Amino acid sequence: MGKSCLELRDMGYTESGIYTIRPSERSSSAQVYCDMESAGGGWTLVASIHEINILNQCGVEGWWSSGKGVTVGKAYKGSESRENHKTFGTAEGSTSDEYKSLAYFKVQASDVMIWHVPDVIAIEEAATDATLKYYTDSGFLRNYGGTLQSLYKEYYTLHIDEKVGGIESLISAYNQSQSYIRALISPFHNYTYDFHGQVQNYIADGGNDMFDIVNQLSYQIGSSPLITVTYNKVYRSLNKHAAVQLIAATSHPFNAMMWIGNNDRSAQNLTMQVVLRRSTFWVICMICFHYYFY
């Protein structure tokens, strides 16, 4: 019995599937899904965040989103599933329900892989049916305790709380780091936001420099018309089963946050368009995913 899927791979197991591991002599054993093919193999599925309703955005009733975490910059330590040692769900049922294995906090790992998989498929089909797969290869997790539990214990996740404004609360929390970001950029230009017809939708200085008429932001769902964004206004759009929430803040630096859902792939394209010259632009995309350890 191996300590992880990586150890099982090194022992000669090359077929992806459900395996039993025992991360340490003092820990219990657990059944996990091992991906023995992607990026060299040896990846251990430690958790899945399951969301069948794309408009729910990992809502508070789920195992992972307990209503705590970071809301408008306030930290609540130790009570979220990301930070504690609770387990729930099964590897086989991880595409149909939320899942957290003891491997989440017991398996020592160096890198993370994330998959986006369709709802309610067999776990054996997840590898081939995944919409996206991406992974790290820098060994970064070793610097944060070697597990996602140790990482999130010190670095909190942002939580959508509809009572305080949904995605607005996230960008408010993010904007608290503006002074730190500005300190990294020398020299930093404090641009201004001009109004035309009382509509605030671009950065300009009223002259002929590089910041004039830039950072015009638009988005589009599928073949629907392109929507030009007015800053500091929250956009919630639905096209069939595809959904978007977007807010762009008049901050320094300028930034935008966008939540995208396309659960049944009814929209062929989800587009964000930026008319940009040389100012700084930050975008955060909100997603739900499957965690793999390596």
**CA 98/CA 72 separation, integer angstroms:** 26
Tokens of 90: 């099964």
DSSP assigned state of 166: B
SS3 117: coil
pTM beyond 0.95: the answer is no
Note whether 292 and 112 are within 8 A (CB): yes
**CA 136/CA 149 separation, integer angstroms:** 17
DSSP assigned state of 124: G
pLDDT given at position 64 = 73
pLDDT given at position 77 = 43
Give the pLDDT of the chain (294 residues) as one tens digit per residue.
899 999 999 999 999 999 999 998 888 999 999 999 999 999 999 999 876 555 554 555 567 755 443 333 344 444 578 888 889 999 999 988 889 999 999 999 999 999 988 888 899 999 888 888 889 999 999 999 999 999 888 776 554 444 445 667 667 766 776 777 677 777 777 777 776 777 777 777 666 565 666 677 888 887 888 888 888 888 887 666 567 788 888 877 777 787 776 656 667 777 877 776 554 455 544 443 444 454
**CA 194/CA 179 separation, integer angstroms:** 22
Domains defined for the chain, CATH in brackets: 5-53+84-155 (3.90.215), 190-278 (no CATH)
Closest CA to 87 of 105, 70, 67, 113: 105
Closest CA to 85 of 102, 65, 98, 61: 102
pLDDT given at position 172 = 72
pLDDT given at position 62 = 63
Residue 14 forms beta bridges with which residues?
A: none
